[in-house]
A and B are shown apart, each in its own frame.
Chain A
Amino acid sequence: DVKVTQSSRYLVKRTGEKVFLECVQDMDHENMFWYRQDPGLGLRLIYFSYDVKMKEKGDIPEGYSVSREKKERFSLILESASTNQTSMYLCASSLSLTAPTDTQYFGPGTRLTVL
């Protein structure tokens, strides 16, 4: 079974803090994704990575950055957290670049509250 784990289930931070969200997958997947989930908006792609040290912007990258130093680990960074970044953050991974219809496997999510 594919397992995607996220470092925290709940996180509370203050405005202006630097925030790190960590994601690890154990199935040697090529692709990793970060989404945010908000009521009425569904899942929106923030960033994704198709290889170590490679990254691409998604639909809402503003205010975020990412890091992928190892294949299994993908980090989302909020350089200076703001209240409008309060949300549920979901990490996902998928197998291969050559199969665009590959299933995305999601972690359980991190609910981030920025005060």
Chain B
Amino acid sequence: QQQVKQSPQSLIVQKGGISIINCAYENTAFDYFPWYQQFPGKGPALLIAIRPDVSEKKEGRFTISFNKSAKQFSLHIMDSQPGDSATYFCAASRGTDSWGKLQFGAGTQVVVTP
């Protein structure tokens, strides 16, 4: 049973549009929420991460929005570009878990059309 539920499974967006991926969790002990980006033939790579003491974090065109009360967080990709076409995974871990084990969502395949 997945501890982090991710949606949608896939999405297609036009160049310049906004891509939005949503994740939800149940375990209130989670306190670290990274997003990983995976290109075909490559392993995932950290894109951006957030702690629950802030409601939003922005890095360039990528923004994480975090809603602690709803136990939801989302990734927004502004001005989407064809180079953003990849699979995106949300994840969560507990800070008290010193091994840094991550629980991953199922992934969202994003296709940005020219």
Do A and B associate with each other? Answer: yes
Query: Of B41, B46, B96, which contacts A103 at CB under 8 A?
Result: B46
Q: Which of A42, A43, A102, A103: most chain B CB closer than 10 A? A: A42
A42 B104 Cβ-Cβ under 8 A = yes
B99 A42 Cβ-Cβ under 8 A = no
Q: Which residues of B sit under 8 angstroms from A48, Cβ to Cβ? A: 99, 101
A34: Cβ under 8 A from any B Cβ: no
Give the interface size class of chain A.
20 to 34
B53: Cβ under 8 A from any A Cβ: no
Give the number of A-B contacts (CB < 8 Å): 69
Query: Of A4, A31, A42, which contacts B2 at CB under 8 A?
Result: A42
B44 A45 Cβ-Cβ under 8 A = no
* Contacts A48-B99, A100-B95, A100-B98; A90 near B43 (Cβ below 8 A): yes
B102: Cβ under 8 A from any A Cβ: yes
Residues of A within 8 A of B (CB): 4, 31, 35, 40-45, 48, 50, 56, 58, 90, 92, 94, 97-109
Residues of B within 8 A of A (CB): 2, 6, 9, 32, 34, 36, 41-46, 49, 51, 89, 93-102, 104-107
